[in-house]
Structure 1
Amino acid sequence: MFWRRQRAAIEEFHPLHRALVLEKWFSVSLPRDQWEPVIRSLAGHEAAVRRRKWRVTPRTSRVLVPMLRVLAADMPPEGLLSVALDLRGDNVPQKLTPARDVQVSRPILSMKEWFVFDPWLRMRAELRDGSVVELAVTDRIRHRKYKKRNPRGKVKYKHKTKTVQMISVARRLGKGASPRTPGTPPPRWIRARVKPGSRLTIRADAKLLGPLPDDELRERILQVSTEPFRWTPPAASVRRAQ
C-alpha cells in the first residue's frame, strides 16, 4: 500500500497530534504535564510525514508549541491548560458571513462584500499566582468581488482581500487584587484596559494588518500577552515567585 510507513507513523502519534493531522483541529483541557507528550509528538512530525495531505501548517511549530511552553512554565503541575486549535482554514462555511451589496461609483459597476472570521487559536491557563490567562487569535478576512469597466469599455471582474489579525489576552487576578498602573504606556498598537469586579481583569488587545509571517505573529502574541502582567502590583507577585 502506498504511504504505508507514513500511515504507521501517524498511528504512533499522540492522539491530539493525530487529530490535528487528520481533522485539522482539536479542543481539549489537560493538566500542565500532560502537554509535554503532545509537544514531543508534534516535534517529530516533519521527520515522519512528507505527504502534503498529512502535513500540518507551520503555525503549529512556530506559534502553538512556543505558546504552550511559555504558559506551562508559569503553571503549577495541577493547573489546567485548555487549547482550542482550528487549522481548517478560512473556507469553512461556518466562518463566513453572508455576502452583501456595497454602494459603488463608476468605473466600478457592482460590488459584493463578505467577511471570514477564523478564531484559529484559543488558550486558557491557570497560573501559579492564582490568576487565569485567556488568549485568543482571530483572523478577520474581508473579501470584495467587483465588476469594473476600464477606459476602453471592457468589463473585468476582480477579487481582493484584506486580512486583519486580532490578538486578545485577558488576565483575571485573584480575589482582592488591585492593579498598578505601569510606569510606561504600552506600544500604540496595543490597547490595555482594566475591568473591575470581584476578580479584577486586565485586558490587552491588538489589531495587526496581516497576514504576518508566523515567527513575527508569535512575537506579537508574546508582546500582547506580557502587557497584563505589567499591571500586577508587587504584592500580587509574591505567590508567583515562590
Structure 2
Amino acid sequence: MVWGVFYRKQKAALARFHPLHQALVHEHRLSVTLPRDAWEPLIQSCAQHRAHIRRRKWALPDEVPLVLVPLVRVLSRDLRRTGTIGVTADLTGPEAAGKAGPQQSLQVRRPIRRVLQWYAFDPWLAVRAELRDGSTLDIAVVDRVRFRKITKTNPRGKIKTKTKSKTLRVITVTRRLPKGAVLTRPASPPPPWIRVRIKDGPRPVIRLRARIPNAPRSSGLPNHILHLSAEAFRWTAPQARRAS
C-alpha cells in the first residue's frame, strides 16, 4: 500500500515534466531542433528529475545530465540570434535490438570451453548548431563495442559464463564555414589523438576525428568534444571567430 502511494506520486510528478523529458525517460530517445530559449525549459525540467523520481524504471539516462545538458549549454552561448540546436540521441545502449552484428566462434584452449564474439555499432549522438559567426557545427558520437561471451570450467568443475565488452568511441566534429571565409593554418599542430581534414572552397569545411579506446559511456565525453571543437576554431582568423 505504501509503495503504491509512493509510486503514484512519482508517476504524477513525471506527468508534469516537459514532454521531451518524458520521452527521454520512457523511450531513451530524443530527436528535436529548437531555438536557444526553447531549450531552457527542457533543461530545467531534467534538472528536477532526481528530486522527484526515485524509481529505477523511470530513471533519466546518465547521458542526459552528463553529456546532453552541458553540451547544449555551451553551444547556446555561441548560437546566432535566430540559430537553432538540433539533437538526435539514442540512449538505448549498444545492446539494444538491431545494433549487433553476427556472432563468430573463436578458437579456445582449456579451461575455456567456448568464446562467442560480436560487434555492436551504436551511433548514439548527433548534434548540429548554427553559430553566430555564420558557421555550422556538427558533432557525431559513435561507439563500436566488441562483446565476448566466454564459457569456462572453473577449478571446482562448474561451468561459468560471463560477457565482457570493450568500447572504441569515434567522435567527429565538422565545422562548415560561411561563404567567403578564409582558412588560416594554426602555428602549432593539433594533438596527436586528433585527425584534421580540410576541404577548401567557397565554403571551407574543417573536419576533426578522434578515436577514444576503452571509453566509458559518459565520463569525459564533453571535454573530448570541446577539445575537438576548439581545434576547429584554430583554423580561422580571430576576427572571423568574433563576427556576428
Band the TM-score falls in, shorter-chain normalisation:
0.7 to 0.9
Q: Which amino acid aligns with 2:238?
A: P
Shift of 1:75: 0.5
Are the aligned partners of 1:168 and 1:206 in contact in 2 as well (CA < 8 Å)? yes
Q: Secondary structure at the match of 1:232?
A: coil
Q: Which amino acid aligns with 1:132?
A: T
Q: Which amino acid aligns with 2:137?
A: V
Question: Is the aligned partner of 1:229 residue 2:230?
Answer: no
Q: Specify the alignment match of 1:162 in structure 2.
A: 166
Q: Deviations over 1:32-85 (max 9, x none)?
A: 211111111111111011100111122211111010001111002311210011
Q: Specify the alignment match of 1:119 in structure 2.
A: 123
| Among candidates 34, 49, 55, match of residue 45 of structure 1 | 49
Q: Secondary structure at the match of 2:34?
A: strand
Q: Specify the alignment match of 2:143 in structure 1.
A: 139
Cα distance in 2 for partners of 1:66, 1:54 equals 22
Are the aligned partners of 1:32 and 1:76 in contact in 2 as well (CA < 8 Å)? no
Are the aligned partners of 1:82 and 1:123 in contact in 2 as well (CA < 8 Å)? yes
Q: Specify the alignment match of 2:182 in structure 1.
A: 178
Are the aligned partners of 1:171 and 1:228 in contact in 2 as well (CA < 8 Å)? yes
190-199 or 155-164, which moves further after superposition? Answer: 155-164
Are the aligned partners of 1:182 and 1:231 in contact in 2 as well (CA < 8 Å)? yes
Shift of 1:175: 1.1
Q: Deviations over 1:91-140 (max 9, x none)?
A: 212211122345x3655776432111122211000011110000011221
Q: Deviations over 1:181-212 (max 9, x none)?
A: 11111211111121234421101111112233
Cα distance in 1 for partners of 2:160, 2:36 equals 55
Shift of 1:5: 1.2
108-117 or 34-43, which moves further after superposition? Answer: 108-117
Q: Secondary structure at the match of 1:94?
A: coil
Are the aligned partners of 2:169 and 2:211 in contact in 1 as well (CA < 8 Å)? yes
Q: How many pairs were matched up?
A: 239
Shift of 1:232: 1.2
Q: Specify the alignment match of 1:91 in structure 2.
A: 95
133-142 or 91-100, which moves further after superposition? Answer: 91-100
Cα distance in 2 for partners of 1:208, 1:237 equals 28
Q: Which runs of 5+ in 2 are unaligned?
A: none
Are the aligned partners of 1:21 and 1:55 in contact in 2 as well (CA < 8 Å)? yes
Q: Specify the alignment match of 2:12 in structure 1.
A: 8
Question: Is the aligned partner of 1:19 residue 2:33?
Answer: no
Q: Which runs of 5+ in 1 are unaligned?
A: none
Q: Secondary structure at the match of 1:162?
A: strand
| Among candidates 189, 206, 223, match of residue 202 of structure 1 | 206
Q: Specify the alignment match of 1:78 in structure 2.
A: 82
